């Protein structure tokens, strides 16, 4: 490579980072989502649509950790705790109240309030992120053990028995506010879940674009400097944590609606591990990455579940180890980086012959697409 060529090299990470931060990528992701929202209910049969719903619900959960961990720098091993609290809060409240409006709100508020208390203990105690991981893991296990042991009839909140390890069956679905008989159907739930996913995505993009979002990212990048600039990083971290918990709670509420059932496994270690794997695989520090990772891994575990020879823990564990060691950035940034490189290569060779150039431009085109996803 000649020096002249070197000067024209596109700075690889910057081009990608710029694109991922620009409004174009947000618009593209939302457009893809809107198309899915409009098209999928028309082309998919009911069974596939129900499957697609759980992907969307879990994608919201993945997004919550993708935000808390990738942008706030808070490694929360217990995101499933908030997910489970959301599911249980909805289930218990709706059994008691009948109308689903207040339970829906409670499913978001209860996990957020719980996260506020927990986050206060962690951030205001200035515990390091390693302790953070261990404590959130511990809290998840506490909830799991606690709910697991409430099998007897004496364990009930209002009219709602907690059910212990049997879980809570027959959870009433969401209804139009004020009209208990007008309940949501599978198609409505799909639209609500995917709509919620897009809404959360948009909300997080907007948040990250404004000042609060920048301070949150700064508290991950260099907490010391942020403190010296006069920001109380603890407060921002607490806010990030609580917002993440609220989103996870929303996802839990939708999950309880999806199966009309919730059991303590929503708090389990396996669930926590899965969320982490989604984010790692998809790409830490992106918002689209966790969603893609979530869909890919869920699809994979469903496929594994249909056969008996390979254990799903084995595969998930192997994926986690391989990604941490070999693809630490995750799929989306890695593929995006490759795309930008191809794009750079295409721009650097203007003298290639006609049809080759066509290929290069195709690459360029694909590259932009890949970055966007």
Partner 1 sequence: MDLAAIILIQVLYAIASLFVISSGLAVIFGMMKVINLAHGEFMMLGAYAAIEAMRFGVNLWVAILVVAPLAVAVIGVVLERVFIRRLYGRMIDTMLATWGLSLLLIGVVTSMAGNTTAGISAPLGNFAIGAYSVSSYTLVIIAVAVVLGFALRWVLLHTSLGLIARGTMQNPQMADALGIAPGRVYSATFAVGAALSGLAGALLAPMTGVVPTMGGAFIAKAFITVIGGGPAIVAGLVSSSVLFGAINQIATFASTPVFGEVALLVGAIVMLRLLPRGITGRFFRGAL
**Binding footprint of partner 1 on the chain (CB under 8 A):** 75, 121, 124-127, 129-131, 133-135, 137-139, 141-142, 145-146, 148-149, 269, 273, 276, 280, 310-322, 324-325, 328
CB of 51 to partner 1, least distance (A): 24
Which residue, 165 or 299, has its beta carbon nearer to partner 1? 165
> How far apart are the C-alpha atoms of 77 and 144, rounded to whole Å?
14
Which residue, 147 or 295, has its beta carbon nearer to partner 1? 147
CB of 50 to partner 1, least distance (A): 27
Residues 70, 243 contacting (CB under 8 angstroms): no
> How far apart are the C-alpha atoms of 147 and 150, rounded to whole Å?
5
In angstroms, the Cα distances linking 144 to 78, 149, 313 are 11, 9, 19
Q: Which tokens go with 63?
A: 């997004």
Question: Residue 263: which of 182, 195, 169 has the closest Cα?
Answer: 169
> How far apart are the C-alpha atoms of 190 and 49, rounded to whole Å?
7
> How far apart are the C-alpha atoms of 10 and 108, rounded to whole Å?
44
CB of 313 to partner 1, least distance (A): 4
Which residue, 97 or 157, has its beta carbon nearer to partner 1? 157
Which residue, 29 or 316, has its beta carbon nearer to partner 1? 316
CB of 121 to partner 1, least distance (A): 5
CB of 136 to partner 1, least distance (A): 10
**SS3 of 276-332:** HHHHHHHCCCCCHHHHHHHHHHHHHHHHHHCCCCCCHHHHHHHHHHHHHHHCCCCHH
Q: No. of H helices and E strands in the chain? A: 16, 2
Phi/psi of residue 226, each to 5°?
-60, -40
Distance of CA 366 to the CA centre of its chain: 26
Which residue, 322 or 352, has its beta carbon nearer to partner 1? 322
Q: Which helix (H) or strand (E) holds 157?
A: strand 156-157
Which residue, 26 or 143, has its beta carbon nearer to partner 1? 143
Tokens 């950790």 sit at which residue?
65
Q: What is the DSSP letter of 161?
A: E
Distance of CA 184 to the CA centre of its chain: 24
CB of 191 to partner 1, least distance (A): 34
> How far apart are the C-alpha atoms of 190 and 174, rounded to whole Å?
12
CB of 85 to partner 1, least distance (A): 15
CB of 113 to partner 1, least distance (A): 17
Which residue, 135 or 245, has its beta carbon nearer to partner 1? 135
Q: Which tokens go with 199?
A: 């809404």
Which residue, 265 or 373, has its beta carbon nearer to partner 1? 265
> How far apart are the C-alpha atoms of 34 and 291, rounded to whole Å?
15
CB of 135 to partner 1, least distance (A): 6
CB of 83 to partner 1, least distance (A): 18
Which residue, 79 or 175, has its beta carbon nearer to partner 1? 79
| Residue 210 exposed, middle or buried by CB count within 10 Å (0-12, 13-18, 19+) | exposed
Which residue, 135 or 172, has its beta carbon nearer to partner 1? 135
């Amino acid at each position: 490579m000649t020096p002249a060529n070197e000067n024209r090299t596109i700075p690889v990470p910057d081009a990608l980072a710029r694109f991922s931060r620009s409004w174009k990528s947000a618009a593209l992701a939302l457009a893809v989502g809107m198309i899915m929202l409009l098209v999928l209910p028309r082309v998919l049969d009911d069974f596939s649509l129900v499957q697609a719903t759980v992907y969307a619900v879990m994608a919201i959960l993945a997004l919550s950790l993708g935000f808390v961990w990738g942008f706030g720098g808070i490694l929360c091993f217990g995101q499933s705790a908030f997910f489970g609290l959301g599911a249980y809060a909805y289930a218990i409240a709706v059994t008691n109240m009948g109308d689903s409006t207040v339970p829906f709100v409670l499913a978001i508020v209860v996990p957020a309030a719980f996260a506020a208390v927990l986050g206060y203990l962690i951030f205001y105690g200035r515990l390091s992120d390693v302790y953070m991981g261990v404590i959130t893991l511990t809290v998840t296990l506490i909830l799991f053990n606690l709910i697991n042991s409430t099998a007897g009839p004496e364990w009930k909140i209002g009219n709602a028995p907690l059910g212990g390890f049997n879980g809570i069956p027959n959870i009433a679905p969401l209804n139009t506010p004020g009209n208990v008989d007008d309940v949501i159907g599978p198609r409505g739930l799909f639209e609500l879940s995917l709509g919620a996913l897009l809404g959360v995505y948009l909300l997080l993009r907007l948040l990250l674009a404004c000042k609060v979002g920048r301070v949150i990212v700064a508290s991950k990048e260099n907490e010391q400097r942020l403190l010296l600039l006069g920001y109380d990083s603890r407060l921002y971290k607490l806010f990030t944590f609580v917002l993440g918990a609220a989103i996870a709670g929303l996802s839990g509420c939708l999950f309880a609606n999806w199966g009309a059932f919730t059991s303590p496994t929503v708090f389990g270690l396996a669930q926590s591990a899965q969320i982490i794997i989604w984010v790692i695989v998809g790409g830490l520090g992106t918002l689209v990455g966790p969603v893609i990772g979530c869909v890919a891994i869920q699809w994979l575990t469903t496929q594994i579940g249909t056969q008996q020879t390979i254990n799903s823990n084995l595969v998930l564990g192997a994926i986690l180890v391989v990604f941490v060691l070999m693809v630490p950035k995750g799929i989306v940034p890695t593929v995006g980086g490759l795309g930008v490189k191809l794009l750079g290569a295409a721009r650097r060779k203007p003298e290639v012959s006609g049809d080759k150039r066509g290929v290069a431009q195709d690459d360029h085109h694909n590259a932009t697409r890949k970055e966007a996803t």
